[in-house]
A and B are shown apart, each in its own frame.
Chain A
Amino acid sequence: MKRELPLLMTAVIGLFMILSFFVPHHLVGVPADFLQQCAVIVVAFGYVLGGANALRVNLEGIARRQPDWPYKLVLVISLVVTVVIGMLDGRRWQEPGTASMFLYNQMYSPMQGTMFSLLAFFIASAAFRAFRIRTVEAGLLAAAALIVMLGRVPVGDALTSWLPESIRMSAFQEWIMNVPQNAAKRAILMGAAMGVMATGLRVILGIERSYLGGGD
């Protein structure tokens, strides 16, 4: 029963949600909206579980003096302070001048920006490896990348200004992006869409049931 009931619920609700995509009538649409709202409530409970897990794992790490316990201490203190300040601010927490907004603007945003800015360096190091021409395919990739990069800045057209407009660098990069790049991208997207349908169907029909866990 522990396995049959969730499988039955998944099948019935899954097929009902598929039906709601095709039937706009309120007898289908209203229950479908209700089910989606239920999902929001379940997610809210999930956050309680997630928060409890984060606290338990990190507090245990601190208690056992694991090698990285000071980081865990910072995390636990930050978590508790943020939650307490958010509760003290109440519904006003998004208003300017509140302690929550101070934390957001002065700590959270700069830290997030710092992490994101690392991407610039990582793109450079990854591009260095990607554009090493060791095979014919790598050569094609490097040539296409060069054309696209040059074609998107004024110097690309300046270098090819002596050519007819239709075969200048900008026109060429546009063709690469609109034709071969788009064709490959759409092929991947269509294949992925089929995969989404197949996976969804496997779960709804109960063929894929490993998410229920191993217990009976």
Chain B
Amino acid sequence: MTIHRRLLRAPCALLLCAALSCGGGAVSAQPGESAPPAPAPPSGLVYADVPNDAGNAVALSWRKSPDDSLGLGRVTGYVLERGSSPVGPWETVDSLAAATTEFVDQGVDRNTPYFYRVAAYGPGGLTLALANAGPAIGRESWFNSTRASVLTFVVVFFLLVLYFMSLAQTGRKPFMRRLAGIDAIEEAIGRATEMGRPVLYVPGIQDIDEMQTVAALVILESVARLTAKYETPIRVPVAYPIPFTIAQEMVKSGYLNAGRPEAYDPDSVSFVSPEQFAYVAKLSGIMLRDRPAAHIFMGSFFAESLLLAETGYSTGAIQVAGTANVHQLPFFVVACDYTLIGEELYAASAYLSGEPRLVSGLKAADMLKVLLILLILTGCVLETMGITGLTQWMETQ
């Protein structure tokens, strides 16, 4: 078989790419030396629709140029082009390093046919593969099958919640173990009341799209109800504007539910700044100037966790913290009197309200955890036996 080598007409971008690599390449021809030949073309370009997506991607693979061997230096890279018909016009999709044999084009329109061609370039020039590939069409899917395991767990969880909710409605109150950290909240507020000082509530440093912030704001309603009951002022500095407006509603709701709506102070909730250390500066100022007797840190925290908790410790305030950020938990454990660990933060609102329908959600989560533990153990046994089906089903993309 004859190997055809043709230096075809190429778009400006492609030629520029080749020209640049000729100029900067390690094997560029010197005056007086014969120019190296253009590399042999890549071959076997095939395409496939990327499954489980919105039809915006096409997977491509090809066999590399026979000249693309380590150390030869005759191939600098490949240029992949895309066109709407087999004869063009062509646009460059990407320029890829030597030895690359696959690429996923994530810039295609769904249900639109595309044609692809690939070229090898090096110090000797640029050579296009003989054949184009196409029409490649990105088809959109109705279901991402790689997320089937997640859907199964979500459905099981929904069913468990509904089951435990129906149990709760029949009057059977689900059992819930004591959580020392949450019990300590009332103790802390009581102490602040005795000392005649305010309570500082910090709902984390992230926006409302973080579920820990949602949980912290839900707990805030119960805390505000307690402060209203004990006639103790509460201060809630908030880092983001949306949680700020929700925190205002939560505190107002707490005072209303405690039967003291007239005691609600609109200035008790204040917007500070989403900037991490500006927020820390404000809170440190409150701790050192106003000397709240109780600090309650609930939500998502990062480097500021220890800055806040240690400053609070130095003021002698009773401190209760709760977060699901595992890297910050050790700091809170060290510097606070009580710490809610991980899921306890999410359980706190149900625990504080005692509402059976809320507690039913916790029971469902517990049952799902048991199921997960059994699945992990089964997976370990199956993997040890060389059966990988369960692990593959659990993998998501």
Q: Are A54 and B310 in contact, with the CB atoms below 8 A?
A: no
Q: Name the interface residues of B132-177: CB closer than 8 Å to any CB of A.
A: 140-144, 147, 150-151, 154, 157-158, 161, 165
Instruction: Determine which residue in A18, A25, A49, A111 has the highest number of CB atoms from chain B within 10 A of its CB, and name it.
Output: A25
Q: Are A195 and B342 in contact, with the CB atoms below 8 A?
A: yes
Q: Are A210 and B250 in contact, with the CB atoms below 8 A?
A: yes
**CA distance in complex: A51, B362 (Å):** 38
- Chain A, interface size category, equals 35 or more
**CA distance in complex: A60, B271 (Å):** 15
**CA distance in complex: A197, B254 (Å):** 25
* In the A-B complex, the 9 residue pairs with the closest CB atoms: A195-B346, A46-B241, A214-B256, A50-B241, A50-B271, A191-B343, A213-B249, A115-B277, A214-B253
| A and B contact pairs by CB, cutoff 8 A, 21 listed | A22-B151, A43-B207, A48-B241, A50-B244, A115-B280, A115-B307, A119-B306, A125-B310, A126-B309, A130-B334, A188-B329, A190-B369, A191-B342, A195-B324, A195-B365, A198-B362, A211-B249, A211-B250, A213-B252, A213-B253, A214-B252
Q: With an 8 A cutoff between CB atoms, is B215 at the interface?
A: yes
Q: How far is the CB of B3 from chain A (nearest CB, A)?
A: 42
Question: When each residue 307-349 of chain B gets 1 if its CB lies under 8 Å from chain A and 0 otherwise, what string results?
Answer: 1011100000000000010100111011100000111011101
Q: With an 8 A cutoff between CB atoms, is B246 at the interface?
A: yes
Q: How far is the CB of A80 from chain B (nearest CB, A)?
A: 15
Question: When each residue 8-23 of chain A gets 1 if its CB lies under 8 Å from chain B and 0 otherwise, what string results?
Answer: 0000000000100111
Chain A: interface secondary structure?
helix
Q: CB within 8 A of B142: which of A23, A126, A198?
A: A23
Residues in A whose Cβ lies below 8 Å from that of B252:
213-215
Q: CB within 8 A of B271: which of A23, A54, A119, A197?
A: A54
Q: Are A202 and B154 in contact, with the CB atoms below 8 A?
A: no
B contacts with A, residue count (CB < 8 A): 86
Q: Are A25 and B267 in contact, with the CB atoms below 8 A?
A: no
Q: With an 8 A cutoff between CB atoms, is A112 at the interface?
A: yes
Q: Are A25 and B140 in contact, with the CB atoms below 8 A?
A: yes
Question: When A126-B335, A208-B358 are in contact, do A196 and B346 touch as well, CB less than 8 Å?
Answer: yes
**CA distance in complex: A46, B110 (Å):** 36
Interface contacts beyond A29-B54, A190-B369: sample of 13 additional A-B pairs, CB < 8 Å, sorted by A: A26-B54, A46-B240, A46-B245, A54-B271, A123-B306, A188-B326, A188-B343, A189-B324, A195-B215, A198-B346, A199-B361, A207-B361, A215-B252
The chain A residue sitting closest to B303, CB to CB, is A119
Question: When A122-B306, A203-B214 are in contact, do A188 and B253 touch as well, CB less than 8 Å?
Answer: no
Q: With an 8 A cutoff between CB atoms, is A201 at the interface?
A: yes
Q: CB within 8 A of A189: which of B221, B245, B254, B326?
A: B326
